[in-house]
Structure 1
């Protein structure tokens, strides 16, 4: 592990907060970068390592219709892949029908984001699990409420450190550096970067070196593609090979 980069990342432990050092927020450099896949991976590895954990999706656009309300596809995915014994309704606060930026979906459906409800649901999971893996919607600058509440605002409301999910392929240097710099400008505590869809090779390896050098943030995992995304066993195998519990714990400064 690159000790110089780890030293850059070191910071005093945060005092106070909703639940001290209990959760982690997963954001991405873009929509479709694989946040849900990585959320499932982290949740799975934590549980496999003996740390009871659950995922939480505060806001999702484009859920599936249930008997009484729309259900979060992302929460259903994580629940099934990780074999979680938790009701999907408890893993998501706002599930919107329209698959679009949350601020537009909220407006079209005549709803409003309720931060107090999100905090309530997050705290309920924290009371049941040692760790809660919170997944954002889209990238870190996505608006949840027009002109006044963005994903980074949600991260700060929950007082959580953040991991950024980035692609391995062409364009990732620009997207990742911009995401890191925006997050820093907004006071978000970044603990690491996870590269998703890693296949190896000179270009992808150089992308990673360049991102680490430019941001001072360590790439804590390089997660390879799963050949059969419908196969839970395939995904779990990828998680076990690519996500190291000790490295994750060190980046998050968990005891």
Structure 2
């Protein structure tokens, strides 16, 4: 029909009515004694329905898995704008579920599709960790791992400032494991907001040359018995390090 939208067209000895609008279309197949039997095909270009995912700070959530369930069951991944689009050509109610890093961060129920764009606020937060030693000083090179019920959520290594910047994380309860060489710590934390969290590792001092960290208890025991230098020499020999010079260490910061 080209650009034809509404009216009547000559049809044998009669005229047929045709209507093609944005929300409906029909064609008359019988007019008095004139009739046309057969199959009529109407090509419809559906406007996609888009869901824009944003975190608690209004930033796009990229790489989330969005699933719509209803008359149609479809899945899409949010793009760099945080948008996931679907062609929902079957009307009816839909349930929308958003998963980010394997964790459900939003659920929305839509009674009917009355607009092409929806914004979905997700329980996703911008979180970083500050890792420190026993003296509350930044700890460089420590590893941080976050695990959820279904496995790994995120991991990273602290920088010169002791910061582990993990970006967007899903909300919920997770196990956070921090480790620096032979010293480690594990906590269960609830992520429910953006910000910087602190985690202290019991690294009292680190022996020179061999680079072995000691906890507060180990350092106190070493001082009260053989001394730090003797302990350092013993550890070095165990690790096969030769020619280790004894060095007096101060326990003062």
TM-score (norm 1): 0.21
TM-score (norm 2): 0.21
* Structure in which a larger fraction of residues adopt helix: 1
Which protein shows a greater Rg? 2
Larger relative contact order (Cα-Cα within 8 Å, sequence gap ≥ 6): 1
